């Protein structure tokens, strides 16, 4: 679980803290705590409970919970939001590679077909990243991809260690930079919802929670495991974020590598690219499976060549969207404002209320209040995050 949570979102944490200073730091802890609670709530939605408290597992995945609550429409809503979300993860990965490599090598000196657009070099690298990852989606199978994902985790661990080490070393040498203050030019008030959406991106892995809970030797201890994992996750993110922002202050870049000295910058950049390329195919596997199932239902002669074309088109779509986004932080922000408020906050809270609170006379009033707060936070984060990220995007080139 910790491996899933410590993904690409970790890299944007110093910049997210820069956007709101201490307010962002509090927001990080708040989002992490709520995400841990909804992860626990979603896992409990897999069960029915007898009057004596004995539970029985009757559901296996997120979409089946949606169906239990709101019928086929609920099931379709969860599936479609999940597919959009997983495709968005692929887009964010490509933007991450582009944002990492564009400060290192300027392709606009060698290519010209996009030079009439702003941030042309970033867009060139998004195209290059798309072409590089394209073969990886044709490997097929979770077992082969799991090896790539494990290597990606090693890369991410090295990134955390190197990034934290060099940030702390700079603090020792030059002293700690002042924490950005919310409302200053570098950290305007409307930036806080953007930071919130980045935190939602960083703490969301709810689609895998039902499978993880089912695979445990003692599923009853899932709540304790979630608590420990999310506390550790918050501590890791706070450590990485504070080290970065206290080392570089208002100069903290959206990806910390840009702030590092040349040698570690190159090493960490290579690790980021390696981690991203190794991890890229994994979130798209469910998307490919859904496309295959729909094609099988419509055409009995569904062939491997059609499957290959579908996978290629999905990757090219990801690349097209990635080339249109000017920065990694915006990619995280938009994703954390579009699909993830539903998957992380709104759906789990509504489903738990429908299945285990609505109609139960002995339900805790505190649980009801928390669930309502979670839904409200989800909708507020969705709307304010979209507005905030759109405002940042509109002023990106100014």
Structure confidence by residue, pLDDT tens digits, 262-319: 888 888 888 888 888 878 887 887 888 888 777 766 655 556 788 888 899 999 999 9
Whether the per-residue pLDDT at 6 is higher than 70: the answer is no
pLDDT bracket for residue 10 (50, 70, 90): confident
Separation between Cα atoms, residue 279 and residue 38, nearest integer Å: 25
* pLDDT for res 302: 59
The pLDDT value recorded for residue 374 is 95
Lowest mean pLDDT among 16-25, 361-370, 379-388: 361-370
Q: Which domain holds residue 144?
A: 2-394
**29, pLDDT greater than 80:** yes
Give pLDDT tens digits for 122-146. Answer: 888 899 999 999 988 887 655 555 6
pLDDT of residue 2: 47
pLDDT, residue 117, reads 64
User: pTM of the entire structure?
Assistant: 0.87
What does residue 304 show for φ and ψ, rounded to 5 degrees?
Answer: -65, -30
Residue 302 neighbours by CB distance under 10 Å = 17
In terms of phi and psi (left: phi > 0; alpha: psi -120 to 50; beta: otherwise), the region of 343 is alpha
Average pLDDT along the chain: 83
CA-only gyration radius of the chain, Å: 21
- Number of structural domains the chain divides into: 1
> Which neighbouring-strand residues pair with 48?
56
Question: Can you give the pLDDT at residue 352?
Answer: 92
Query: What does each C-alpha distance from 264 to 66, 129, 175, 236, 252 come to in angstroms?
Result: 46, 22, 20, 20, 16
Q: What pLDDT sits at residue 76? A: 92
Q: Which residues contact 270 (CB under 8 A, 6 or more apart)?
A: none
- The enclosing domain of 103 has a CATH number of 1.20.1740.10
């Amino acid at each position: 679980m910790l491996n899933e949570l410590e993904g690409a979102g970790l890299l944007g944490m110093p910049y997210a803290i820069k956007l709101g200073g201490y307010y962002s730091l509090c927001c990080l802890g708040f989002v992490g705590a709520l995400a841990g609670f909804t992860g626990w709530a979603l896992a409990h939605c897999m069960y029915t409970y007898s009057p004596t408290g004995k539970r029985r597992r009757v559901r296996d995945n997120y979409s089946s919970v949606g169906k239990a609550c709101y019928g086929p429409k609920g099931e379709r809503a969860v599936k479609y939001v999940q597919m959009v979300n997983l495709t968005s993860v692929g887009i964010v990965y490509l933007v991450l590679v582009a944002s990492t490599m564009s400060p290192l090598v300027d392709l606009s000196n060698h290519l010209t077909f996009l030079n009439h657009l702003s941030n042309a070099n970033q867009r060139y690298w998004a195209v290059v990243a798309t072409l590089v990852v394209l073969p990886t989606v044709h490997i097929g199978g979770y077992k082969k991809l799991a090896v790539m994902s494990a290597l990606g985790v090693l890369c991410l661990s090295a990134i955390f260690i190197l990034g934290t080490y060099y940030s702390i070393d700079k603090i020792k040498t030059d002293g700690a930079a002042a924490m950005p203050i919310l409302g200053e030019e570098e950290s305007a008030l409307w930036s806080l919802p953007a930071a919130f959406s980045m935190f939602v991106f960083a703490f969301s892995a709810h689609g895998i929670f039902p499978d993880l809970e089912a695979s445990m030797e003692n599923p009853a201890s899932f709540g304790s495991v979630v608590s420990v994992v999310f506390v550790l996750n918050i501590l890791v993110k706070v450590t990485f974020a504070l080290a970065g922002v206290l080392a570089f202050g208002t100069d903290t870049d959206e990806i910390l590598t840009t702030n590092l000295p040349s040698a570690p910058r190159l090493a960490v950049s290579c690790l980021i690219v390696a981690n991203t390329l190794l991890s890229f195919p994994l979130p798209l596997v469910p998307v490919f499976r859904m496309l295959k199932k729909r094609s099988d239902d419509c055409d009995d002669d569904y062939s491997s060549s059609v499957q290959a074309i579908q996978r290629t088109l999905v990757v090219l779509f990801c690349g097209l969207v990635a080339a249109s986004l000017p920065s990694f932080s915006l990619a995280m922000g938009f994703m954390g404002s579009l699909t993830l408020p539903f998957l992380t906050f709104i759906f789990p809270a509504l489903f738990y209320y429908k299945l285990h609170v609505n109609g139960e006379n002995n339900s805790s009033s505190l649980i009801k209040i928390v669930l309502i707060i979670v839904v409200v936070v989800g909708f507020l984060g969705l709307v304010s995050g979209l507005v905030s990220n759109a405002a940042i995007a509109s002023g990106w080139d100014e």
